[in-house]
Amino acid sequence: MTNNDLIKKAETVLNNNFKEDKGFTIPCEGLYPFQWNWDSGFIAVGFAHYDANKAKREVEALLSAQWENGFIPHIIFHNDSDTYFPGPEFHQSKLHPLASKSHRTTGMTQPPVLGFVLKEMYDIIEDKADILNFIKQNIDKVFNNHQHFYTHRDPNQEGLVFIYHNWESGTDNSPIWDDIWGTMDPPNYKFERRDTTHVDAAQRPTNREYDYYLHLIEIAKAHNYDEAKIAELSPFLVQDPLFNAMLIKSNAALIELYELIGDSEDKIKTLRQWQKKAITRFNEKLFNEKLGAYVHYDLRNEKQIEFLSSSSFAPIFADIPNEERAEIIVKTMMDKFGSEDRYLCASFDPSSDRFNPKKYWRGPVWINLNWLLFKGLKSYGFYDIANRVKDDSVQLIERYGFYEYFDSRKSVKENAGYGGNNFSWSAALLIDLLKC
Ligand code: DGY
């Protein structure tokens, strides 16, 4: 298939998933029938290449549900659907006094991609005056979101923000969380899974894992999603290298955009202060010398979680390691994840006994992580490895289709595209990869 054919197919996937009446894009039919926060950001990057209007509407639809305190939720329930659990009745975002009055949402967030997405849109879209005008209208909302993070998600004022739920990480059922589940003993909730009616249960989290997920939400709801209470009580409190790298990358993008807009000295000064503190602390606290990469920090139990995942390498996307440290983490990535019989980049350490090549975030390759690794590798001058990440991503999609995630083993003979099909961010980011 030529690159142009692939791009055309990707555009069809995105166009079919776009909901014209509300102006947003579902991640895929059935499995994810609403608007998801970080999905939308990646989707907007794809649209920016051929339909600037849709890219802008995507961002606006997400921001239309921003809470009065700056918080941007992880799911916006623009519409009703009975194909997904847990829906708006379970989340009850309105328990929080500053929740969106116009939209039902969840009470948790997702990796803060919007800052760098606005910058990508600016770089891609040809009509610079028009896109800069759009950015001017929206950038303060993203700034307020970052301010919310540093005010309410950083109890030690160290420049690193916490997540209180695995769904906030984006890497939902990663083995990283297994030891935290070991500290909890939630009830066996009665609920009806919907995801496993769309996708083989072997590719999704277990029912017992859902008990943990729901329990964390119940604790937050019992305190009306008050983040100070959550910081005090949630058994899940983690400083995630992927999440914090996204925030840092978005801070950097906001600085560049405010410079273009002009007359924004105060905001730029504040962003620079956040950046300095965040990058310094990130390098002190989240680097693991023994593993040769960044790891998650369990803030509740005050220890590093010593496992390698694709999130361990994401800081190269945000210019966090110095050159020497970048060499170390890229070497670790290639030694542990980069053997020739595998596609880059597995989401979890293939040599670990927790690795599962088919199960969601316990091993499969994800196109969004590959996209940011590609960009990060290139920016540090690792061109050959960057190109391998790009070629592997394109090959996986060509071989199997626009799936949600893929088996990293090249030897698999059957279909090794897993999860949802016609998945929006796989399509959107393939367009971007093929155009850069
Ligand atoms: C799910 O339902 O698996 C979603 O990823 C949660 O965000």
Q: What is the pLDDT of residue 133?
A: 98
With a cut of 90, say whether residue 1 has pLDDT above it.
Answer: no
H/E/C letters for each residue in the chain? CCHHHHHHHHHHHHHHHEECCCCEECCECCCECCEEHHHHHHHHHHHHCCCHHHHHHHHHHHHCCCCCCCCCCCEEECCCCCCCCCCHHHHCHHHCCCCCCCCEECCCCCCCCHHHHHHHHHHHCCCHHHHHHHHHHHHHHHHHHHHHHHHHCCCCCCCCCCECCHHHHCCCCCHHHHHHHCCCCCCCCCCCCCHHHHCCHHHCCCHHHHHHHHHHHHHHHHCCCCHHHHHHHCCCCEECHHHHHHHHHHHHHHHHHHHHHCCCHHHHHHHHHHHHHHHHHHHHHCEECCCCEECEEECCCCEEECCCEHHHCHHHHHCCCCHHHHHHHHHHHHHHHCCCCECCCECECCCCCCCCCCCCCCCCECHHHHHHHHHHHHHCCCHHHHHHHHHHHHHHHHHHCCCCEECCECCCCCCCEECCCCCHHHHHHHHHHHHC
Which residue's C-alpha comes closest to atom 3 of ligand 1? 172
pTM of the model: 0.98
Distance, CA 84 to ligand 1 centroid (Å)?
9
List, for residues 89-112, the tens digit of each pLDDT value.
999 999 999 999 999 999 999 999
**Ligand 1 neighbourhood includes 167 CB (under 6 angstroms):** yes
With a cut of 90, say whether residue 436 has pLDDT above it.
Answer: no
Distance, CA 236 to ligand 1 centroid (Å)?
17
Distance, CA 170 to ligand 1 centroid (Å)?
8
Share of the chain above pLDDT 90, in %: 99
Name the residue of 26, 31, 32, 83 to mutate for ligand 1: max ligand atoms within 8 A of Cβ.
32
List, for residues 113-135, the tens digit of each pLDDT value.
999 999 999 999 999 999 999 99
Would residue 218 show up in a list of annotated catalytic residues for this protein? no
Tell me what the pLDDT averaged over the chain comes to: 98
Q: What is the pLDDT of residue 247?
A: 99
List, for residues 248-282, the tens digit of each pLDDT value.
999 999 999 999 999 999 999 999 999 999 999 99
Would residue 404 show up in a list of annotated catalytic residues for this protein? yes
Which residue's C-alpha comes closest to atom 6 of ligand 1? 167
Catalogue all structural domains in the chain, each as residue range(s) with its CATH number.
3-70+109-163+237-435 (1.50.10.10)
